[in-house]
Amino acid sequence: MQQVFFFLTTSIFLLLHLLQPYSNVAKAEEPNLPTAAETSQEGSPAPPASSTQSDQKTLLSNEQKTSLINFYTWSAVLPKDFIDLQNKLRSNSLDNRASLHVQAITADIHDLQWEIVTARTAPYLQKMQIDRFQRKLNRFKTQVSDLQTLLAEIVAKLSAKRNEWLVNKEKLASFSEQEDLAPILAMDKNQDLGKIIEQALQLIESNLVPTLAAGADFANLQVKLESIKADLRSLDKQFLQSRSERTFPTLLSLDFYKQINLQLFVDVYANVKRFVTAHNTLIYQNLRFIVIGCLLFIILCCVIAISRHYVLASSRWYPFATCPFGTALFLSTAAYAIFIQKINVNFENQWNLIINILTVLAVMRLVSKSIDDEWKRIVFIRLSLYMIVIMILASLELPQILMLLFVFGASFAALIIYFTQLKAQCHSTFQRVLRNLWGVLPAIVVVASLAGYEQFAIFFFSTIISSIAICLVVWMMFHLISGLLELLLKLAPLDIIRANIPVIVKSIQPFLALMHLMLAIGLVSVIWDVYPSADIAMDKLSNMGFDLAGFHVSPGFILTIFLVLYGAILFSRAIQALLLSEVLPRYKAEKGVQLSITRLVHYAILTLGFLVLLKVLGFQLQQLTILGGALGVGIGFGLQAIVNNFVSGLILLFERPIKVGDTIQVGTELGEVKNLGLRATIIQTFDNSEIVVPNADLVTGQVTNWTLAERKVRVRIPIGVAYGTDVSKVLEILNSCAESHPMVLSTPKPAALFLAFGASSLDFELRFWIPEYLDKMTATSELNQTIESEFALNNIEIPFQQTDLHIRSVTEAAARALQGKLEKEVKIEESTSPAEPAVPDSPTENPEQTKVA
């Protein structure tokens, strides 16, 4: 309310100040009549020149008016900016939160340092302890890095606000230097502007100083984390050195069994009790999150069980839907592993081992449902059980001797199983390799345990089992994502997606397989101490390579090329299918038009994908120009025909003189267009042979397209009858035959024409139209049969071709033979009824009428 009153007051004052010169001008225009005193003293009125000078002093220049407007506008907004600054700083204050974060992380780092010191002084060091320390360190580094980033953003914002208010302070000083604004700045309300600016700067300083102090504290924490990283590196070196040394008595000696005493089991009980007590406390502290997680788990189980009714038994999701508990458990543990770093929950690192145990149990349950081979199922279940026991022993921090006994016993049992299955026949190379590894790897552990190299035996056994478990988990994750993708596509709104779910999933699976393969390699490399964490492993593996022609060739580089090209191809296929099934049929476009449009869209998407690939690879415009010049030189020398066919293919797609499905004739070949490509067109003849015709020949050569405008075609059947036949009767029969045939169109009407007097017949022609060009031969054959039947019923003769034979001279014997043959033919004709024409003696005899001259 105070700010509104101040704004109204300053606005009224500014208005009055601007109107004052006009009132002075009005006064100046009035006549200057002298007063009585002036008349008595001077006897004449005051000169007008003096009044003009006083009026000029009261008038304000345009620059002064502009400065007044700027000042009042700025002074009215300044208090509001101060209030907004207070609200923002109050909401973004990190005084308490920063100190709490520093205290919590400092305590956790101190505990980690103490654990590392304890592990260094312990008689036996386990690899899982070092891994646990490394995971804690990575989590602390992530938290400190995130807070440092947040503090940097806040410091940048505070610095920007401080610069803004320093500019306001300089602006107030510049207003104070103007003489015409001095009376206005002397007002009480305007004197408060300087106080507001000073308060704003003090408020910013009060927030900036503790923020910078918190940044310094986090920098100190970063130094401590680097020190812990160095300690872990030395601890890892110590473990690597002890792994190759004999640190334990052999299992065949009495010294080994002397270590198994009552105190050992007392220590085991104490460790178990400490583990249970500590985790009971953590359960009570995080009970809210645990309850929420259990409720979400139950809901997820119900959703997975219900999804079984929406998929077929052949679906990739069906094995997971039939096992809702295992699937929900696997999804929950995977979500925990992915998002645990994003939420601020005080979970002990031993809980990660419990989560891993649950993950292995879920995978073991899903494997029993997914694998049909009984032998493979048993192998995977045994490996999972070994892994579970190893993780349980590690989470309880049992003595080293018990770990060694379990490792030796499990390896010895696996070795016995190997010898008992030597006589079994392997059905595949995979089974043979797996069986050999099943015998070699446990043998190494057994020999190392007997020789006293307990660190190496435990490390080798746990690493092998962990690697197999990781590969099994990633393999199950790949199948689970494939099934989940198929389930989600089942819920898609488009019919084309639901109808092609197997094709879509099969197209995406190579990408998923490649990503999971990279993930498995990265995780296994972490287990074998190649890299300290999965993030670093993925980064190193993706950037590992060599330089070639200015490019760093690496798996990530190759994967990027593959993803861009494969993604462009998949996107093109999806758009083509969508256009052909959903979009273009609505506009009632012809099939050839639809294929031409989708082909153009395909080439456009591939071109765009190629340009995106060039951009991803780092090509600049200058490099693209050089590449274009090189392509121009190549085209000029040896690629003219290819470019000519390519351009001709574009012309065919745009002008569409021929389309897919058209019946065309190129030269002597007649066939149907099956594929219209950029370089060549495939024509399938009616003999089921395919002809590849370059597009340039179709553009520059003569092509007959029988179905370009429409598929209706006219058919002509030539017919000849003997001389003396009734012409009108023949025309009537021909018209009736055509009109009665179902393939003949009534419009245009069929026409029978008497064309000419032939050498041996009267020549007629029947012309008619049919709706489909491909039915031309069928219609001709059927009409020929009908016409022949009608001619036979009406005694209309179709004559043979007549030939005149001129005999110049014959022998007497030939003449007598010829005369006898003629007499015989006359007798046969006389004995034959007129309705039944004579039949030749032999079917192979040439039935030509011979005239002897």
Q: How confident is the model at residue 6 (pLDDT cuts 50, 70, 90)?
A: very low
Is the pLDDT assigned to residue 292 strictly greater than 80?
Answer: yes
What's residue 788's pLDDT? Answer: 92
Q: How confident is the model at residue 597 (pLDDT cuts 50, 70, 90)?
A: confident
Least confident span in 17-26, 83-92, 385-394? 17-26
What's residue 9's pLDDT? Answer: 44
Structural Rg of the chain based on CA atoms: 50
Q: Residue 586 corresponds to which amino acid?
A: R
**Higher confidence at residue 658 or residue 426?**
658
What's residue 408's pLDDT? Answer: 86
Note the residue count of the chain.
853
Per the CB < 8 A criterion, the answer to whether 384 and 110 are in contact is no
pLDDT in tens, 355-402: 778 888 888 888 777 776 677 777 777 777 777 777 777 777 777 788
What whole-number distance in Å separates Cα of residue 131 and Cα of residue 128?
Answer: 5
Peptide bond into 748 cis (omega under 30): yes
Whole-angstrom CA distances from 530 to 119, 178, 232, 236, 455 are 22, 73, 15, 12, 18
- What is the pTM for the complete model shown? 0.61
Is the pLDDT assigned to residue 42 strictly greater than 90?
Answer: no
Q: Which backbone phi and psi does 751 adopt, to 5 degrees?
A: -135, 135
What whole-number distance in Å separates Cα of residue 483 and Cα of residue 317?
Answer: 4
Is the pLDDT assigned to residue 61 strictly greater than 70?
Answer: no
The helix (H) or strand (E) run that includes residue 660 is none
**Higher confidence at residue 438 or residue 326?**
326
Is the pLDDT assigned to residue 297 strictly greater than 60?
Answer: yes
What's residue 58's pLDDT? Answer: 43
Is the pLDDT assigned to residue 41 strictly greater than 60?
Answer: no
What's residue 786's pLDDT? Answer: 92
Is the pLDDT assigned to residue 85 strictly greater than 50?
Answer: yes
Both structure tokens of 790: 């009608």
**Higher confidence at residue 89 or residue 837?**
89
Q: What's the half-sphere exposure (Cβ side, CA atoms, 13 Å) at 86?
A: 10
What's residue 13's pLDDT? Answer: 41
Q: How confident is the model at residue 91 (pLDDT cuts 50, 70, 90)?
A: low
Least confident span in 96-100, 252-256, 846-850? 846-850
Q: How confident is the model at residue 339 (pLDDT cuts 50, 70, 90)?
A: low
832: number of Cβ within 10 Å: 12
Q: How confident is the model at residue 832 (pLDDT cuts 50, 70, 90)?
A: low
pLDDT in tens, 106-160: 888 888 888 888 777 766 666 767 777 877 787 788 778 877 787 888 888 888 8
pLDDT in tens, 674-701: 888 778 889 998 888 888 988 888 888 8
Least confident span in 201-215, 475-489, 837-851? 837-851
What's residue 783's pLDDT? Answer: 93
Domain ranges of the chain: 1-59, 65-243, 254-491, 713-793, 803-852
What's residue 817's pLDDT? Answer: 74
Whole-angstrom CA distances from 91 to 84, 97, 146, 221 are 11, 12, 19, 26
Average pLDDT, the chain: 76
User: What string of DSSP letters covers 664-685?
Assistant: EEETTEEEEEEEE-SSEEEEEE
What distance, in Å, lies between the first and last C-alpha atoms of the chain? 138
- Match domain 713-793 to its CATH number in 1.10.3720.10, 1.10.340.70, 3.30.70.100, 3.40.50.300: 3.30.70.100
**Average pLDDT of the segment spanning 185-194:** 60
Per the CB < 8 A criterion, the answer to whether 407 and 456 are in contact is no
**CA dihedral of residues 349, 351, 354, 356 (deg, nearest 10):** -50
What's residue 39's pLDDT? Answer: 36
What's residue 715's pLDDT? Answer: 93
What whole-number distance in Å separates Cα of residue 217 and Cα of residue 212?
Answer: 9
Is the pLDDT assigned to residue 845 strictly greater than 80?
Answer: no
What whole-number distance in Å separates Cα of residue 476 and Cα of residue 463?
Answer: 20
**Average pLDDT of the segment spanning 333-338:** 76
pLDDT in tens, 739-786: 999 999 988 899 999 999 988 889 999 999 999 888 889 999 999 999
The helix-helix angle for 621-637 and 640-655 (nearest 10°) equals: 100
**Higher confidence at residue 431 or residue 666?**
666
Is the pLDDT assigned to residue 719 strictly greater than 50?
Answer: yes
Per the CB < 8 A criterion, the answer to whether 805 and 850 are in contact is yes
